[in-house]
């Protein structure tokens, strides 16, 4: 290995540019995916059967399909039906669908853990179904879902590495690119791995702390 | 129909990769979980660091490090072997965490009772705690196995000829990604269903054999 620290320092701006792309895709997927997850969570509890069936199908397909296959389906498959997207848009769309399917289960579990008496109380004081959701169920249910949603966000950040296959210039693609031009794959990929670890390890320690705090409150 | 068969030809590779990685994880996860629960700070800190490090790096990055990183100039390694080692490593860290969760679910009274009976530390673990902890771990292990099955799709990027790789080939040959990846997605869902069903029925049976 003839790579000095100076070489790695020279690669760093390129790698951090890639990291920025990864973080933007993560943010975009979560911003689209978590509201989608909320809608799906409400949809699978709907009374109207066609809506419930459609939401269930979306969740099961979204969770049952590997994110990589979903991504390639969106990027290489959808142009056949006239939906051609940039790799950025395809990445965010595919990961948002994945996020929606997984977070809907997390949010549903959160909503279901709100004690039934809360619903009865809301009905008793004459809240409409929408107000019951807005003021009673969501504030309590989402709070319970927060630690799991944060944990899932870390997984989606790691999942952005899959966008390598649609030629999105994210962190892994940049490291691979450096590897293919300098033929120093090992140090370049290791540098990228370090950047992933530098973000994910503190993030998961933080999520663990939030989890313990949430557990502390729920035990009261 | 022939397209379907073309993709299905990747199924044995997908299953083999999942099985090998899972077997490595189920086996090596045990010592790692025990090290994580060690009384010696140096041991459990090291185990915790190893688990955190393995899990903080995306599977695709592990694959690339092993296949392109080590493969160019260090040790030549076949795509399947690289993928088996990468996923085996990741499965080890994840199974260690699953076992740890199982051990934590065992009530303290079980240890107390074993001590009162005069069992040695080894027998307490091997005959009383571990059999129950394994039963508690099963549902998480099963959902992890399904997750692992889907994660192995990333091995297509380094040329393991599994399902997603075959779908990719078909998509390039027929210019219809919609069809190729649609079939692949359906196959993944179809294999996950029986595994999930088996795990659920095994779990409800094993649950009855855990003291609570």
pLDDT of residue A92: 97
Express each pLDDT in B71-122 by its tens digit.
877 788 899 999 999 999 999 999 999 999 999 988 889 989 999 999 998 8
- How many contacts, defined by CB atoms under 8 Å, are there between A and B? 128
ipTM: 0.89
Whether the Cβ atoms of residue B11 and residue B188 lie closer than 8 Å to each other? no
Q: What is the DSSP string of B42-54?
A: HHHHHHHHHHHHH
User: Who among A80, A165, A199 is closest to B178 (CB)?
Assistant: A80
How far B158 CA sits from the closest chain A CA (Å)?
11
Express each pLDDT in A11-45 by its tens digit.
999 999 999 999 999 999 999 999 999 999 999 98
Indicate yes or no: CB of B52 within 8 angstroms of CB of A189.
Answer: no
Q: Does B110 touch chain A (CB under 8 A)?
A: no
Q: Which ranges of chain A does DSSP label H, i.e. alpha helix? A: 5-43, 49-64, 67-72, 87-112, 116-124, 129-131, 138-159, 171-182, 185-218
Higher pLDDT, B54 or B173: B54
- Rg of chain A over Cα atoms, rounded to whole angstroms, equals 21
Indicate yes or no: CB of B177 within 8 angstroms of CB of A60.
Answer: no
How far B83 CA sits from the closest chain A CA (Å)?
15
How far B149 CA sits from the closest chain A CA (Å)?
9
Task: Evaluate if residue A220 carries a pLDDT over 70.
Answer: no
User: Who among B72, B154, B176 is closest to A162 (CB)?
Assistant: B154
Express each pLDDT in A40-91 by its tens digit.
999 998 889 999 999 999 999 999 999 999 999 999 999 888 888 999 999 9
Q: Name the closest residue on chain A to residue B51, using Cα atoms.
A: A201
Interface probe, candidates B177, B182, B183, B194, chain A, greatest A C-beta count within 10 A = B177
C-alpha span between B92 and A135 (Å, rounded):
44
Q: Does B176 touch chain A (CB under 8 A)?
A: yes
Q: How many CA atoms lie within 13 A of B44 on its CB side?
A: 9
Indicate yes or no: CB of B60 within 8 angstroms of CB of A161.
Answer: yes
Indicate yes or no: CB of B164 within 8 angstroms of CB of A67.
Answer: no
pLDDT of residue A219: 47
Q: Does B53 touch chain A (CB under 8 A)?
A: yes
Q: Name the closest residue on chain B to residue A81, using Cα atoms.
A: B178
Indicate yes or no: CB of A72 within 8 angstroms of CB of B168.
Answer: yes
C-alpha span between B140 and B95 (Å, rounded):
9
pLDDT of residue A2: 67
Cβ-based neighbours of A186, under 8 Å, separated by 6 or more: A1, A179, B65, B68, B69, B70, B72, B73, B74
Residue (of B45, B31, B23) closest to B125 by Cα position = B31
Cβ-based neighbours of A142, under 8 Å, separated by 6 or more: A107, A110
Whether the Cβ atoms of residue B53 and residue A199 lie closer than 8 Å to each other? no
Mean pLDDT of A105-127: 92
Whether the Cβ atoms of residue A114 and residue A107 lie closer than 8 Å to each other? no
Locate B24 and state its tokens.
């490595």
pLDDT of residue A213: 85
C-alpha span between A165 and A204 (Å, rounded):
26
C-alpha span between A174 and A79 (Å, rounded):
26
How far B208 CA sits from the closest chain A CA (Å)?
25
Residues of A in contact with B70 (CB under 8 A): 186
pTM of the predicted structure, to 2 decimals:
0.90
Distance spanning both ends of chain A, measured CA to CA:
57
Residues of A in contact with B60 (CB under 8 A): 161-162, 164, 172
Q: Name the closest residue on chain B to residue A182, using Cα atoms.
A: B72
Indicate yes or no: CB of A80 within 8 angstroms of CB of B176.
Answer: yes
Indicate yes or no: CB of B164 within 8 angstroms of CB of A69.
Answer: yes
Residues of B in contact with A199 (CB under 8 A): 56
C-alpha span between B188 and B167 (Å, rounded):
12
Task: Evaluate if residue B1 carries a pLDDT over 80.
Answer: no
The most distant pair of C-alpha atoms in chain A lies apart, rounded to whole Å, by 74
């Amino acid at each position: 290995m003839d790579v000095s620290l100076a070489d790695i320092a020279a690669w760093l701006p390129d790698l951090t540019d890639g990291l920025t792309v990864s973080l933007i895709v993560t943010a975009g997927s979560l911003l689209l995916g978590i509201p989608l997850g909320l809608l799906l969570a409400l949809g699978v509890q709907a009374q109207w059967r066609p809506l419930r069936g459609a939401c269930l199908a979306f969740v099961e397909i979204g969770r049952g399909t590997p994110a990589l296959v979903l991504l390639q389906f969106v990027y290489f498959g959808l142009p056949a039906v006239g939906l051609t997207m940039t790799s950025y848009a395809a990445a965010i769309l595919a990961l948002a669908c994945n996020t929606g399917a997984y977070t809907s289960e997390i949010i549903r579990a959160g909503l279901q853990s709100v004690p039934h008496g809360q619903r009865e109380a809301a009905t008793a004081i004459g809240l409409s179904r929408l107000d019951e959701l807005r003021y009673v169920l969501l504030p309590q249910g989402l709070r319970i879902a927060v630690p799991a949603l944060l944990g899932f966000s870390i997984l989606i950040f790691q999942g952005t590495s899959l966008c390598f296959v649609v030629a999105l210039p994210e962190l892994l693609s940049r490291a691979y690119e450096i590897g293919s031009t300098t033929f120093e794959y090992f140090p370049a990929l290791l540098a990228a791995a370090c950047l992933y670890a530098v973000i994910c390890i503190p993030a998961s320690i933080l999520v663990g702390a939030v989890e313990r705090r949430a557990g502390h409150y729920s035990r009261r | 129909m022939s397209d379907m068969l073309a993709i299905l030809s990747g199924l044995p590779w997908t299953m083999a990769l999942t099985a090998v990685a899972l077997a490595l994880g189920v086996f090596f996860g045990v010592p790692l979980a025990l090290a994580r629960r060690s009384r010696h700070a140096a041991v459990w800190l090291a185990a915790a660091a190893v688990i955190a490090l393995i899990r903080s790096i995306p599977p695709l990055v592990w694959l690339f490090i092993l296949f392109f990183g080590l493969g160019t100039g260090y040790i030549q390694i076949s795509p399947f072997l690289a993928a088996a080692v990468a996923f085996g490593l990741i499965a080890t860290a994840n199974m260690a965490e699953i076992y740890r969760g199982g051990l934590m679910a065992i009530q303290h009274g079980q240890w107390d009772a074993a001590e009162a009976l005069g069992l040695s530390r080894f027998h307490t673990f091997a005959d009383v705690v571990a059999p129950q902890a394994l039963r508690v771990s099963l549902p998480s292990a099963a959902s992890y196995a399904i997750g692992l099955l889907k994660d192995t799709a990333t091995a297509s990027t380094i040329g393991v000829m599994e399902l997603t790789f075959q779908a990719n080939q078909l998509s390039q040959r027929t210019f219809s990604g919609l069809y190729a990846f649609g079939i692949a997605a359906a196959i993944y869902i179809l294999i996950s269903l029986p595994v999930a069903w088996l795990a659920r029925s095994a779990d409800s049976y094993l649950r009855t054999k855990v003291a609570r």
